[in-house]
Amino acid sequence: MNKAELLKKEKGFTLIEVVLALAILGIVAASFLSALATGSRSIFLADEQTTAESLARTQLEFVRSQPYDADNNPPEYLIISDIPDGYAIALTTRRLDNKGDGDDPDDGIQSIRVFIQHHGENVFDLEDYRTYR
């Protein structure tokens, strides 16, 4: 066999096969990167929610540790000072007229609502009640 006959028998990849293989490889790589980005975003959101819930529960416990405010309307309570960067806490309170008699707007029950913001967006809120003890 001479050299010319050997070259005719050798088969290589055609341009179409190479382009098709690269296209498949690109699709697989794009799918992998998309899944990786989605997983990363999910982890970030779960971390944000966990931090926000922890802050809200800590704030409620801090309100409960303060003396009951029977004087101000709406009641005033301090906000915790140790807040992670980018987070903010807003607190709304109101007195409830449990008896519905209208005579005494504070029957010993207050609604406490905590709002947690992360970079200016509300991410979590929690409402609870406080009673006079």
The 10s digit of each residue's pLDDT in 29-85 is: 999 999 999 999 999 999 999 999 999 999 999 999 999 998 888 899 999 999 999
pLDDT at residue 105 in the model = 60
Per-residue b or e along 67-77, where b marks 16 or more CB atoms closer than 10 Å to that residue's CB: ebbeeeeebeb
In angstroms, rounded to a whole number, what is the distance separating the alpha carbons of residues 108 and 70?
Answer: 8
Tokens of residue 118, six digits: 């992360």
Confidence label for 109 from pLDDT (cuts 50, 70 and 90): confident
Residue at token pair 């504070």: 106
pLDDT band at residue 103 under the 50/70/90 scheme: low
